[in-house]
């Protein structure tokens, strides 16, 4: 068995096969168009690849995608050293080929390939099949909890200093505090816009509206959100809350934006930095639940990479 990068034609062939797994709400033609549109997005064009595990006869046994993403490592002096990490998505084996360990072999060969990349730090994936299959290939599971907040009527701009538009993404991302951990992933504005592009694709199928804003500022705190997938939910992509009062103002704005856009709820991925602030919302109908799928898992691609148990994996990193 060997690993190859897929050609454009091979990518289209995989799209036809993966429709049954990820084509919810779309026709086969609509799903193919979605894949083409997402691959044409600037973040994908920067370095997105489809990888194929092939048998000796050339048969494709399994496939996945990788996206190059930013990461930072603190050196001994405390300075940040930028590098490359790789977000892994769409790991797929046809049903007739399952049970032979092909996905594990794919992940092992892919890790060896990524380790050879200059400045490689780590690989990141979000498992929908539990941690066991990826743990075999050296991936470490991180905690995964969600907070669900009900929509509430009102003007989203009233509780905050300002609402953010798509053109504000870069400035807003620059306001966020970088994590105080030895190593972390960090998205680019293009990566966050890739999530919004998914919402632009799905909105016509969901019976809702695209949110008119992409986040808000309150004091020194910032939140970024969006309709980002196949469910009519307002999903928080990034949240930097400097105080309980500012966290409450930002999430209140999110709840009002969800109501204005006819979305069913606000979903917040719990992170170490704001976990202490979220329980204050329980009296307002917020609930904390174990995440169903999208379990974050990390594999170092260089010896000695320090992985903190407090490593944040905000929704803005998901692929």
CATH number for position 100: 3.40.630.30
Inter-axis angle of helices 28-39 and 8-22, to 10 degrees? 130
CATH number at residue 261: 3.40.630
- In 3D space, the residue among 180, 283, 253 whose CA is nearest the CA of residue 268 turns out to be 253
How many domains are there within the chain? 2
Question: Does the residue 283 lie in any domain?
Answer: yes
On whether both 124 and 242 belong to a single domain, the answer is no
| The pLDDT value given to residue 76 | 86
On whether both 239 and 274 belong to a single domain, the answer is yes
Question: Does the residue 304 lie in any domain?
Answer: no
The alpha helices in the chain, defined as continuous H runs, are: 8-22, 28-39, 42-47, 102-115, 132-135, 169-175, 189-206, 244-260
On whether both 196 and 150 belong to a single domain, the answer is yes
HSE, CB side, 13 Å, CA atoms: give it for residue 104: 12
On whether both 265 and 128 belong to a single domain, the answer is no
Domain that holds residue 277: 145-290
Give the position of tokens 């004091």: 219
On whether both 99 and 34 belong to a single domain, the answer is yes
Q: Is the pLDDT of residue 282 over 80?
A: no
Least confident of 93-97, 211-215, 278-282: 278-282
Query: pLDDT per residue over 134-171, tens digit each?
Result: 999 999 999 999 999 999 999 999 999 999 999 999 99
pLDDT band of residue 274 (cuts 50, 70, 90) is confident
On whether both 109 and 160 belong to a single domain, the answer is no
- In 3D space, the residue among 245, 268, 252 whose CA is nearest the CA of residue 159 turns out to be 252
Question: Does the residue 297 lie in any domain?
Answer: no
pLDDT band of residue 78 (cuts 50, 70, 90) is confident
pTM of the predicted model, to two decimals? 0.96
On whether both 127 and 152 belong to a single domain, the answer is no
User: Average of pLDDT values for 215-226?
Assistant: 98
Q: Is the pLDDT of residue 186 over 80?
A: yes
C-alpha separations of 126 from 88, 130, 134, 224, 227 in Å: 8, 9, 10, 20, 19
pLDDT band of residue 305 (cuts 50, 70, 90) is very high
* β-strand pairing of 295-300 with 140-141: antiparallel
Q: Is the pLDDT of residue 275 over 90?
A: no
User: Average of pLDDT values for 184-200?
Assistant: 98
Cβ-contact 193, 37 below 8 angstroms: no
| The pLDDT value given to residue 141 | 96
Question: Does the residue 83 lie in any domain?
Answer: no
On whether both 201 and 274 belong to a single domain, the answer is yes
Question: Does the residue 311 lie in any domain?
Answer: no
Question: Does the residue 41 lie in any domain?
Answer: yes
Query: pLDDT per residue over 245-259, tens digit each?
Result: 999 999 999 999 999
Burial of 133 from C-beta contacts in 10 A (0-12 / 13-18 / 19+) = middle
Structure tokens, 248: 């409450």
On whether both 285 and 251 belong to a single domain, the answer is yes
On whether both 32 and 150 belong to a single domain, the answer is no
Can you tell me whether residue 73 is helix, strand or coil? strand
> What percent of the chain is predicted at pLDDT more than 90?
92
Question: Does the residue 318 lie in any domain?
Answer: no
Question: Does the residue 81 lie in any domain?
Answer: no
On whether both 113 and 222 belong to a single domain, the answer is no
């Amino acid at each position: 068995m060997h690993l190859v990068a897929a050609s454009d034609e091979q990518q289209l062939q995989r799209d036809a096969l993966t429709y049954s797994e990820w084509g919810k709400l779309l026709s086969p033609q609509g799903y193919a168009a979605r894949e083409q549109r997402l691959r044409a997005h600037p973040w994908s064009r920067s370095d997105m690849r489809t990888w194929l595990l092939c048998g000796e006869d050339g048969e494709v046994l399994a496939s996945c995608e990788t996206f190059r993403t930013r990461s930072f490592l603190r050196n001994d002096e405390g300075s940040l050293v930028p590098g490359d990490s790789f977000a892994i998505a769409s790991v797929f084996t046809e049903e007739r080929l399952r049970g032979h360990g092909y996905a594990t072999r794919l992940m092992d060969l892919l890790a060896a390939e990524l380790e050879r990349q200059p400045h490689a730090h780590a690989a990141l994936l979000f498992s929908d099949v539990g941690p066991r299959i990826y743990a075999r290939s050296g991936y470490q599971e991180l905690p995964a909890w969600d907070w669900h907040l009900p929509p509430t009527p009102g003007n989203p701009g009233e509780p905050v200093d300002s609402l953010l538009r798509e053109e504000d993404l870069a400035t807003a991302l620059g306001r966020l505090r970088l994590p105080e951990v030895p190593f972390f992933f960090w998205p680019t504005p293009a990566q966050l816009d890739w999530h919004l592009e998914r919402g632009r694709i799905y909105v016509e199928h969901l019976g809702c509206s695209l949110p008119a804003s992409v986040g808000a500022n309150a004091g020194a705190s910032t939140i970024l959100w969006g309709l980002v997938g196949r469910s009519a939910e307002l999903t928080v992509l990034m949240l930097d809350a400097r105080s309980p009062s500012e966290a409450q103002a930002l999430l209140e704005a999110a709840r009002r934006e969800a109501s204005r856009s006819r979305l069913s709820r606000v979903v917040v991925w719990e992170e170490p930095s704001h976990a202490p602030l979220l329980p204050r919302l329980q009296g307002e109908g917020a609930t904390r639940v174990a995440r169903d799928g999208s379990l974050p898992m990390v594999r170092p691609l260089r010896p000695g990479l320090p992985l903190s148990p407090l490593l944040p994996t905000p929704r803005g990193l998901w692929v």
